[in-house]
């Protein structure tokens, strides 16, 4: 039969965080790693309950109750700082010979290794503490790499959206692209015509059949506009049901009127969404770059806008050239209608 001394030697090897208590709850012997947590204060000879507070089970505050808890799991912490949490198992020695408590850090291991400068020599070879620390560090590194990738992807997405020149619903160019096109045409002194096109009755399709139908109509209208223009013309969706078409090197008003007529004709043909007929049309105003002595992008847009307004005022579903109304505009100082 092994004496208590022999048992202590054995425990020091197997469980470096053990406590051997006598029947009065006094610490007889302490494992080297556990003692390392309180280098200034020898644990031997002290009362267990003076050193540790039992967190679970909470009811234990006296030595006899503690001693009666054979095989129980304990959650405890130091009374003094740092109040490291420990977990453990209590088991009595035979023949009223005292009690052994084996402790470990559990989840508090992460703080403990820094608070107490522990090394792998402080843990039993059977302890998974080192593997746990390894895993935490490896996972943190992997998470960090993942986070940084996500951040870069997010930044790239925002940048791509900011730089995008495409209207995502219709695949046409967007308003930002239009500013570029206008600027470029002005700086290279390219002659061009600018058509401002508004869909008529679009709002009623949207209200009556819902947004899905509205989106469908916009996509169909976009397709028609692309089909009715040349590949180096540019079709822009300004937003809502408002479009702008640039005709590069085309300033012939007859040809432009013919194109506008074809556009209106095709846009008036009924479309069918989920077997519901959607009827729209288009009003168009056209301005030509050669009508201006010095081309300012805002001015030609405004001119096309005035022509469009005239088309709407005259009953929609029609085309007006800015040149038709230019003289009256100059006379009346007509302001931009909205």
Partner 1 sequence: MHGLINRAVQSFVCATYGQACWLRVAAAAELGFVELEAMLVYDADTSLRVLDALCADRNRARAEMLEDLGTYLVSHPNTEGLRRLLRFGGVTYVEFLHSLDDLSDRVRLAASDLSLPALELRELSGAEYQLHCFPGLPGYSSVMVGVLRAMADDYGALVMLSHDGQQGDADVITIALVESSFAEGRQFELGARRP
Residues labelled as active-site residues: 241
Number of residues interacting with partner 1: please give it, by CB under 8 A. 26
Least distance from partner 1 to the Cβ atom of residue 105, Å? 11
Residue 9 found at the interface with partner 1 (CB under 8 A): no
Segment interacting with partner 1 (CB under 8 A) among 24-32, 144-152, 251-259, 326-334: 144-152
Query: Is the Cβ of residue 148 or residue 249 nearer to partner 1 in the bound state?
Result: 148
3-state helix, strand, coil in the chain (%, to 5): 45, 20, 30
Could you tell me how far CA 199 lies from the centroid of its own chain? 36
The residues, any chain, with a CB within 8 Å of residue 132's CB and separated by 6 or more, are 109
Exactly one of 119, 184, 272, 276 binds partner 1 (CB under 8 A); that residue is 119
Distances in Å between the Cα of 82 and the Cα atoms of 103, 111, 112 are 16, 10, 9
Tokens of 191: 């002659």
Question: CA 64 to CA 285: how far, in whole Å?
Answer: 98
Q: What is the DSSP string of 97-119?
A: --EEEEEE-GGGHHHHHHHHT--
Q: Does 205 bind partner 1 (CB under 8 A)?
A: no
- Shortest Å, Cβ 52 to partner 1: 22
Task: Please select the residue that binds partner 1; options are 24, 50, 80, 115, rule is CB under 8 A.
Answer: 115
| Residue 306 lies near partner 1 (rule: CB under 8 A) | no
Other CB atoms within a 10 A radius of the CB of residue 206 amount to 19
Q: Which is nearer to partner 1, 110 or 164 (CB)?
A: 110
Q: Name the strands in the sheet holding 52-56, side by side, starting at the edge strand that comes first in the sequence.
A: 27-30, 18-21, 99-104, 85-92, 73-78, 52-56
User: With contact defined as beta carbons under 8 Å apart, do 289 and 191 qualify?
Assistant: yes
Interface with partner 1, residue 118, by CB under 8 A: yes
Could you give the residue ranges of the DSSP H alpha helices within the chain?
Answer: 4-14, 32-36, 48-51, 63-67, 109-116, 129-163, 175-187, 202-209, 211-227, 253-268, 297-313, 322-332
**Are 282 and 196 within 8 A, CB to CB?**
no
Question: Using the rule CB under 8 A, is 117 a contact of partner 1?
Answer: yes
Least CB distance from residue 82 to partner 1, whole Å? 13
According to the binding rule CB under 8 A, does residue 145 interact with partner 1? yes
Task: Choose among 201, 195, 192: nearest CA to 320.
Answer: 195
User: Shortest Cβ distance from residue 8 to partner 1 (Å)?
Assistant: 25
Q: Does position 158 bind partner 1 by CB under 8 A?
A: no
**Residue closer to partner 1, measured from CB, 151 or 290:** 151
Should residue 13 be labelled a site residue for partner 1 when binding is judged by CB under 8 A?
no
- Residue 120 interacts with partner 1 (CB under 8 A): yes or no: yes
Pick the stretch among 19-27, 115-123, 188-196, 304-312 that binds partner 1 (CB under 8 A): 115-123
Site for partner 1 in 123-142 (CB under 8 A): 130, 133-135, 137-142
| Min separation Cβ 146 and partner 1, Å | 5
Residue 163 interacts with partner 1 (CB under 8 A): yes or no? no
User: Helix or strand or coil: residue 191?
Assistant: coil
Closer residue to partner 1 in complex, CB, 92/106: 106
Q: Which of residues 92-111 bind partner 1 (CB under 8 A)?
A: 110-111
Question: Residue numbers of the site for partner 1 (CB under 8 A)?
Answer: 110-115, 117-121, 130, 133-135, 137-142, 145-146, 148-149, 152
């Amino acid at each position: 039969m092994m004496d208590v001394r022999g048992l202590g030697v054995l425990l020091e090897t197997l469980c470096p965080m053990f406590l051997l208590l006598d029947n009065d709850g006094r610490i007889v012997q302490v494992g080297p790693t556990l003692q390392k947590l309180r280098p200034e204060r020898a644990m031997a000879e002290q009362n267990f309950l003076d050193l540790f507070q039992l967190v679970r089970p909470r009811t234990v505050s006296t030595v006899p109750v503690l001693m009666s808890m054979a095989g129980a799991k304990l959650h405890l912490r130091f009374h003094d700082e740092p109040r490291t949490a420990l977990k453990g198992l209590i088991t009595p020695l035979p023949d009223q010979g005292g009690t052994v408590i084996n402790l470990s850090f559990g989840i508090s291991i992460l703080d403990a290794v820094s608070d107490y400068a522990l090394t792998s020599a402080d843990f039993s070879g059977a302890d998974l503490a080192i593997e746990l620390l390894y895993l935490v560090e490896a996972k943190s590194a992997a998470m960090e790499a993942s986070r940084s990738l996500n951040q870069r992807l997010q930044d790239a997405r925002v940048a791509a959206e900011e730089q995008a020149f495409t209207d995502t619903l219709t695949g046409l160019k967007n308003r930002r692209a239009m500013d570029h096109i206008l600027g470029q045409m002005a700086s290279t002194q390219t002659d061009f015509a600018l058509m401002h096109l508004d869909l008529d009755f679009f709002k009623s399709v949207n209200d009556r059949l819902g947004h899905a139908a509205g989106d469908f109509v916009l996509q169909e209208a976009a397709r028609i506009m692309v089909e009715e223009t040349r590949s180096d013309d540019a079709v822009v969706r300004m937003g809502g049901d408002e479009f702008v078409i640039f005709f590069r090197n085309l300033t012939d008003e007859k040809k432009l009127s013919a194109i506008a007529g074809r556009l209106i004709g095709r846009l008036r043909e009924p479309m069918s969404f989920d077997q519901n007929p959607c009827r729209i049309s288009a009003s168009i105003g056209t301005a030509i770059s050669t009508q201006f002595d010095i081309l300012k992008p805002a001015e030609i847009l405004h001119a096309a806008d005035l022509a469009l307004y005239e088309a709407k005022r005259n009953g929609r579903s029609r085309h007006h050239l800015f040149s038709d109304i230019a003289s009256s505009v100059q006379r009346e100082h007509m302001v931009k209608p909205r």
